[in-house]
């Protein structure tokens, strides 16, 4: 199966190891992966801050770039939610009929990583090995935005050697919220403090998620506080094997 990877702007810049893990994972599962070199951003930051005109620029760019691909895989649930929830309204508002048609045809081919692996490849067991104690943070956009459901759990349950610990108040936001984290930095920090209490109570070594934006927020606080827990994108756990352990372990 062929697929094109949309890595997202912040993963490209800040979390290349997640991208490398996605490549390793999908190629191991037999996917012929492609990467459009001119990709940048989906426009989520602009749209969520109220810069709708700018968000539209990025949305248009995304649709034109990927209109011919078999599938777009995105390892960031909030960016997928942006495309599914906000692009329709943006194109509606602009009233560009051609773009709307292109988007309508592209939308069913846009997948979040766990959707692609479980639904499209039909795989639960990706052959991963990760001998650590791990807790899963269900990002709001993964949970309520694009309804990932049990897909992450199905993938995690098959990882050999991994001990899973459930996180209390799984449906509660960690307080990141994009520019919310700086526009309302203090409230964001208060929400973070509460989330960290739940995380620390798991005594896990790693907190994983399908969205590095929450993890940047949580991991940044863990680092600040010498909390003894690290964050890791689920793609990195799924890519990890005995022969090639996750980069975070090196």
Partner 1 sequence: MSGTSYHPVLDPALAPPFPKAVLPVLRNPQLRKNVAHAIDVIQAKRARLVAEKVDWQELRSAGAAIREHSLAHLGAYLEQFEARCTAAGGTVHWAADADEARRIILEILRQENASEVIKIKTMTSAEIQLNPFLEAAGIKAYETDLAEIILQLGHEEPSHIVVPALHVNRSQVREIFAQSMGIKDLSDDPKALTAAARNYLRQKFLTVPTAISGANFLVAETGSVAIVESEGNGRMCLTLPNTMITLAGIEKVIPRFQDLEVMLQVLARSATGERMNPYTSVWSGVTPGDGPQRFHVVLLDNGRSKILAKNTERQTLRCIRCAACMNSCPVYRQTGGHAYGSVYPGPIGAILTPQLMQMNYAQSLPYASSLCGACYEVCPVKINIPEVLLELRSQVVNQERGKAAKFFDPMYLGLRAANLIFSRAWLFHAAQYLGRVGLKLFTGKDGWIHRLPSIGGEWTQTRDLRGLPKQPFHSWWAARQKGGR
Instruction: Name the residues that contact partner 1, by CB under 8 A.
Output: 7, 9, 11-20, 23, 35, 37-41, 43, 45-52, 54, 57-58, 61, 85-86, 89, 140-141, 144-145, 171-173, 175-192, 194, 216-217, 219-221, 223-224
Of 121, 144, 115, whose CA–CA distance to 234 is shortest? 115
How far is it, in rounded angstroms, from Cα 231 to Cα 219? 5
Between residues 38 and 166, which has the closer beta carbon with respect to partner 1? Answer: 38
Tokens of 101: 């048609």
Q: Tell me the closest approach of the beta carbon of residue 199 to partner 1, in angstroms.
A: 14
Residues 6 or more apart whose Cβ sits within 8 Å of residue 105: 67
What's the min distance (Å) between Cβ of 122 and partner 1? 26
Give me 30's structure tokens. 């037999």
Distance CA 192, CA 116 (A): 30
Quote the radius of gyration of the chain (alpha carbons, Å).
Answer: 18
- Smallest gap from residue 216 Cβ to partner 1 (A): 7
CB 61 within 8 A of CB 99: no
**Please, which residue, 132 or 141, has the CB nearer to partner 1?**
141
Nearer to partner 1, 87 or 159 (CB): 87
63 or 140: CB nearest partner 1: 140
Residue 210 CA to residue 82 CA, distance in Å, equals: 15
Closest approach of Cβ 23 to partner 1, in Å? 8
In the structure encoding, which two tokens stand for residue 204, read together? 């896990």
Nearer to partner 1, 98 or 226 (CB): 226
**Could you tell me the two tokens for 176?**
């990141």
- We find the least distance from the C-beta atom of residue 133 to partner 1, in angstroms, to be 22
């Amino acid at each position: 199966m062929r697929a094109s990877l949309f890595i997202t702007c912040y993963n490209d810049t800040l979390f290349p190891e997640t991208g490398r893990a996605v490549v390793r994972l999908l190629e191991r599962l037999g996917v012929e992966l492609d990467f459009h070199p001119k990709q940048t951003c989906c426009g989520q930051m602009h749209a969520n801050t109220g810069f709708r005109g700018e968000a539209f620029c990025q949305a248009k760019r995304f649709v034109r770039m990927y209109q011919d691909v078999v599938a777009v895989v995105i390892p960031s649930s909030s960016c997928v939610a942006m495309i599914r929830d906000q692009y329709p309204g943006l194109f509606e508002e602009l009233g560009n009929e051609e773009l709307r048609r292109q988007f309508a045809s592209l939308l069913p081919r846009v997948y979040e990583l766990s959707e692609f692996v479980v639904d499209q490849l039909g795989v639960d067991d990706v052959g991963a090995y990760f001998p650590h104690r791990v807790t899963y943070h269900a990002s709001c956009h993964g949970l309520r935005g694009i309804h990932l459901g049990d897909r992450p759990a199905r993938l995690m349950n098959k990882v050999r050697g991994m001990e899973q610990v459930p996180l209390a108040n799984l449906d509660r936001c960690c307080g990141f919220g994009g520019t919310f984290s700086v526009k309302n930095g203090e409230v964001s920090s208060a929400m973070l403090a509460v989330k960290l209490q739940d995380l620390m109570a798991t005594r896990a070594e790693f907190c994983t998620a399908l969205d590095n934006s929450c993890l940047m927020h949580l991991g940044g606080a863990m680092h600040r506080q010498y909390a003894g827990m690290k964050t890791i994108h689920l793609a990195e756990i799924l890519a990890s094997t005995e022969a090639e352990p996750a980069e975070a372990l090196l």
